[in-house]
Structure 1
Amino acid sequence: MNDLVLSEAINDAARRKNETIVRIKQALKDRRLVIIVGAGVTLSATTDDNGRPPSRITWQGLIRNGLDYLVTENYVEASNRRTRRAYEALEDGDTDSLLDAAGILRDQLTRMGQFPTWLGSIFDSLYQEVRQPAILDVLHTLHQEGATLLTTNYDDLLERHCELRRIGRSNQDDVLRFKRGDIDGVFHIHGSYHDPGEVVLDTTDYYQVRQSNEVQSILKNFLEFKTILFVGCGSGLEDPNFDVLLQWVSAQQENIPNRHCLLVRDGDILNYRPLVRIKYGPDYGDLVPFLNQLSSTPAGLPRPRPDSAIQANERDETGFTVLDRAALKGNVEEIQAQWDLGADLDAIEPGRGYTPLIESIYQDKFDAFKALIAFGADVNKPNRDQHSPLHFCLNWRKDFRFGFTLLNEIAIEVDGTDKNGRTPLMLAALTNSPPFADLILNRGANVNGRDKNGMTAMHFAAMARSTKVMDRLLESEADMNSPNNMGLTPLRVALNSHADESLHWLLQHGADVGASFNAEDESGMTAMHFAAKAGSTELMGRLLEDGADINSKNNVGQTPLMLALDASDSRSINWLLENGAEVNAGRKQLNTAAGCEDYE
């Protein structure tokens, strides 16, 4: 091919691509565009700085994770014939083998009653792992401009990010209303992990069986009357279920005009005729710029602000601005209008001392919250009591999306303190929120910071029985033996709070029992006394192993046994007697210890 012919071919390809893009944009404008999202979108949204997504959400990683789950949790033996076959199928690496492995996994998980639990372990925390939200942002924008969203993914990233309901095939009324356009949402073609009964891991025969009638009906309707854009489909090995869907669509489209499009990377060899292939670039990172050009208001572009703030910051008789009330009611349009007028996004209203951003958190208005951040609200501005927006998210335990959104903001400060000196990490420990603790620590929080009472996050976690948070704190080199201002270590706090789970964790992880107790305090109480009073036989056992005196007396002659009797704690009483406590040891007046005869 000579240079002239090659140039004409390139120009002709560019012309066809531009004409196709124009048709897609017109379909979007006419609200006839349907976007079907595949695994590439989730992979793109969750890639780390090195371009790697979590291994468990790649197709091979997902199936391998499930097989490993069954083996490590002792539901099946690694030598099990079908399990071994599934592992071998993963090594084969072709689409049919991957789907065969998926079918075996689904069958074994279902028989063991573990399918819902395993799905939750994969996807429950995935949204907080979104590091590259631009792909979700642009899909949100396209939806707001009229696109209908469907997905073959099991996760909930799309509906959570776009603030849409989840629609599955089991609810016949919802399916019909979605097809007619009467309700909005994200339709899960292969099921959502929230509805395990709908999840289809092996789609080999899915489009030939009755269970997919509703799905087929929707897709046939869209194929006939709308324009479908397939986004993030990758190769068959990356998303074999999407591969099966595209094969079915190609067969259905034989006598339909070729207006439906498949977005592919430059190197993808997908070809599902008569779908129109559109190359958007060499890798998933080029997908966002391509989709942005379809939108009339591309995501991420700042809006200009006028110089004048025409009465926007005036307060009514109750002290509220129009912006305050818009945040309180979740009125995004009014928030944008007030921003256009130059309203102060961070002004504190005189009543409760809230900023508009804090008001949106307190009132659980997530759309308003996101809008305020998008327009530049200070994500660290505290209220009058020095509670930052992040403190509010953790204190009030609202929708987790508020906290996750803040912790993904570059400017967020994770060591800010409230009026009591408590940091967000301390609140995550106190409210038993391992995902928040993990994100906060990943942002570099001070793991051993202290509040005004000298309490650390480890103290609060021990008090709240937050052993998963304690795991994460220890991984980040938290001090297990640090005393607070009253000299109490986390172990003493756990003991005083009757937090047996925390006490067990601390003992198992090597907390220094000696550092938690003076040999005797001013009242003559020993560690054994405190353990008996709190009813901790586990701690008493550790103390006895370390040589503690089971019959020691405090200043008024009380032994650990007497304190257990005072508390009417039969478990501790029996343990003490079985381990050598003397019934007659202690003060001369045996009126309390006389009760021991019931246990002799």
Structure 2
Amino acid sequence: MCCKSKFPRIGGKLWGSEMDSPEGATARSEQKFRKFLKSLVRKQPQDLLLVIGTGVSAAVAPGIPALCSWRSCIEAVLGAAEQLEVLHPGDVAEFRKKVIKERDLLVVAHDLIRKMSPRTGDAKPNFFQDCLMEVFDNLEQHIQNPVVLQSILRLMDRGTMVLTTNYDNLLEIFGQQQGKPMDSLDLKDKDKVLQWARGHVKYGVLHIHGLYTDPCGMVLDPSGYKDVTQDPEVMEVLQNLYRTKSFLFLGCGETLRDQIFQALFLYTVKNKVDLEHYMLVLKENEDHFFKLQADMLLHGIKVVSYGDCFQQFPEYVQDLTAQICKQRSPDADRVDSTTLLGTSCVDCAKRKLGENSTDSPKRIKQSDNDIPTLE
């Protein structure tokens, strides 16, 4: 039976025995025949930029409630703050009321960070980081369902860029286990951000809110990154990504309302309706889904349903990735049409092109068949 929860909440045991049940098998079978938007699956991987939200972490490590949603994260932080005695009991009670009543949980999280920080404009040092380290302890031991991470790495192998609003580094941990030279980036490191934005950090993951292990602390307000948002070089190269790449939002619920994401990509990018981005969402309510679909088109975002229950999310991402990775790069096609060697030997193809054409490209990319993949 499909879960009837509002994305990205996960209730009970969604994976284990339930996914192995006849109902789970039926869901998987139905998922295999789902149609994909051709405008999406025909994208070259290097033309995509993945935006990873809490839904990805929730699917990968369902045993850590703090990864399931902003609400769960705030509740877990409050529990840790109470245990560590770094927040007055009265403040803990007040914030718990806000978690129940407030609609904008990002504002609540921001207020919580400020409460645990010095009474200055500087967000560091703070106890918020200590609480996150408590709730995210030993993340590598909690990776139960790496299907989505495998799919993301497969796309990264082919040039897809990745940024995340998450504090955790589950993707980097898993990637390192697979032998990938993963790199966690922070917006405060200008040189590294510029390298990443220009495509020079292949396995880099940009954490726009920071990383829980970062001693500088994390922020949810653009004022915390005022040096970044006021730097024209950084802002131009980041906004250019939003104009030239197709952003694919995975497991994102509140990302477009996120102040930092808005400051980096939305506020100053004009003619957004002319862009083509994509967002995978849970279709729990048809009226809400189709209204969201219409609203997001005004931002140049095509909203796509991966199913009506969260269990379908990992397999949908896996199948979607397989479809995208089937696409042949234009460079590979050019090699095939110019030589009789096809894609069996890229080095030989390069030499052949050099012998037969004075206009041969200086750089030839490997085709999909030449790049190792995670199955």
Identify whether the pair has TM-score above 0.5, normalized to the shorter chain.
Answer: yes
Which amino acid letter does the alignment assign opposite residue 72 of structure 2? Answer: G
Which residue matches 2:95?
86
Which residue matches 2:261?
245
> Identity rate of aligned residues, in percent?
24
- Deviation sequence 1:16-48 (CA, Å, 0-9, x none): 9633223xx3331xx221111111100111125
- Deviation sequence 1:543-583 (CA, Å, 0-9, x none): xxxxxxxxxxxxxxxxxxxxxxxxxxxxxxxxxxxxxxxxx
1:192 partnered with 2:208 = no
| SS of equivalent residue, structure 2 residue 303 | strand
* Equivalent residues of 1:150, 1:189 under 8 A apart: yes
Q: Which has the higher contact order (CA 8 A, sep 6+)?
A: 2
What is the alpha-carbon distance in structure 1 between the residues aligned to residue 62 and residue 85 of structure 2? 31
What is the alpha-carbon distance in structure 1 between the residues aligned to residue 225 and residue 87 of structure 2? 31
Alignment of 1:317-356 (within 5 A): none
Which residue matches 2:333?
none
Which amino acid letter does the alignment assign opposite residue 101 of structure 2? Answer: D
Which residue matches 2:196?
178
Which amino acid letter does the alignment assign opposite residue 226 of structure 1? Answer: K
| SS of equivalent residue, structure 2 residue 130 | helix
1:287: Cα distance to partner? Answer: 2.5
Which residue matches 2:317?
291
Which amino acid letter does the alignment assign opposite residue 295 of structure 1? Answer: T
1:162: Cα distance to partner? Answer: 2.1
* Equivalent residues of 1:99, 1:240 under 8 A apart: no
1:119: Cα distance to partner? Answer: 2.1
1:207: Cα distance to partner? Answer: 9.5
Which residue matches 2:306?
280
Which residue matches 2:108?
101
Which residue matches 2:186?
168
1:221 partnered with 2:240 = yes
* Equivalent residues of 1:36, 1:151 under 8 A apart: yes
What is the alpha-carbon distance in structure 2 between the residues aligned to residue 178 and residue 56 of structure 1? 25
* Equivalent residues of 2:51, 2:247 under 8 A apart: yes
How many residue pairs get aligned? The number is 272
1:69: Cα distance to partner? Answer: 2.9
Which amino acid letter does the alignment assign opposite residue 49 of structure 2? Answer: V
Which residue matches 1:39?
54
Which residue matches 1:259?
276
Alignment of 1:115-126 (within 5 A): 115-126=128-139
Which amino acid letter does the alignment assign opposite residue 102 of structure 1? Answer: A
Q: Which runs of 5+ in 1 are unaligned?
A: 1-13, 300-370, 376-600
Which residue matches 2:37?
18
Distance 1:224 1:100, change over 3 A: closer
Which residue matches 1:147?
160
1:121: Cα distance to partner? Answer: 1.1
Which amino acid letter does the alignment assign opposite residue 165 of structure 2? Answer: T
* Equivalent residues of 1:56, 1:65 under 8 A apart: no
1:65: Cα distance to partner? Answer: 2.5
* Equivalent residues of 1:159, 1:165 under 8 A apart: yes
Distance 1:121 1:74, change over 3 A: closer
Distance 1:217 1:152, change over 3 A: farther
- Deviation sequence 1:84-119 (CA, Å, 0-9, x none): 432221120411xx2332123212322484233222
Distance 1:57 1:26, change over 3 A: closer
Moved more, 287-296 or 225-234: 287-296
* Equivalent residues of 1:151, 1:186 under 8 A apart: yes
What is the alpha-carbon distance in structure 2 between the residues aligned to residue 295 and residue 56 of structure 1? 23
* Equivalent residues of 2:65, 2:76 under 8 A apart: no
| SS of equivalent residue, structure 2 residue 276 | coil
Distance 1:240 1:74, change over 3 A: farther
Alignment of 1:169-568 (within 5 A): 169-184=187-202, 185-200=204-219, 202-203=220-221, 205=222, 209-213=226-230, 216-234=235-253, 236=254, 242=258, 245=261, 249-256=265-272, 257-267=274-284, 269=289, 270=292, 271-272=295-296, 273=298, 274-296=300-322
Which residue matches 2:356?
none
Picking from 66, 69, 84, the partner of 1:58 is 69
What is the alpha-carbon distance in structure 2 between the residues aligned to residue 226 and residue 210 of structure 1? 24
| SS of equivalent residue, structure 1 residue 295 | helix
What is the alpha-carbon distance in structure 2 between the residues aligned to residue 133 and residue 16 of structure 1? 24
Q: Which runs of 5+ in 2 are unaligned?
A: 1-32, 119-124, 177-181, 326-371
Which residue matches 2:143?
130
* Equivalent residues of 2:169, 2:211 under 8 A apart: yes
* Equivalent residues of 1:168, 1:198 under 8 A apart: no
Which amino acid letter does the alignment assign opposite residue 127 of structure 1? Answer: E
Alignment of 1:3-14 (within 5 A): none
- Deviation sequence 1:505-551 (CA, Å, 0-9, x none): xxxxxxxxxxxxxxxxxxxxxxxxxxxxxxxxxxxxxxxxxxxxxxx
What is the alpha-carbon distance in structure 2 between the residues aligned to residue 108 and residue 247 of structure 1? 23
1:71 partnered with 2:82 = yes
Which amino acid letter does the alignment assign opposite residue 51 of structure 2? Answer: I
- Deviation sequence 1:292-316 (CA, Å, 0-9, x none): 33435899xxxxxxxxxxxxxxxxx
What is the alpha-carbon distance in structure 1 between the residues aligned to residue 246 and residue 157 of structure 2? 17
Which residue matches 1:337?
none
- Deviation sequence 1:49-96 (CA, Å, 0-9, x none): xxxx5256532222123233333333333224xx4432221120411x
What is the alpha-carbon distance in structure 1 between the residues aligned to residue 156 and residue 307 of structure 2? 23
| SS of equivalent residue, structure 2 residue 162 | strand
Larger radius of gyration: 1
So what's the TM-score if we normalise by structure 1? 0.41
What is the alpha-carbon distance in structure 2 between the residues aligned to residue 46 and residue 240 of structure 1? 24
What is the alpha-carbon distance in structure 1 between the residues aligned to residue 83 and residue 315 of structure 2? 43
Which amino acid letter does the alignment assign opposite residue 179 of structure 1? Answer: A
1:192: Cα distance to partner? Answer: 0.9
Distance 1:137 1:275, change over 3 A: same
Which amino acid letter does the alignment assign opposite residue 27 of structure 1? Answer: Q
So what's the TM-score if we normalise by structure 2? 0.62
* Equivalent residues of 1:45, 1:135 under 8 A apart: yes
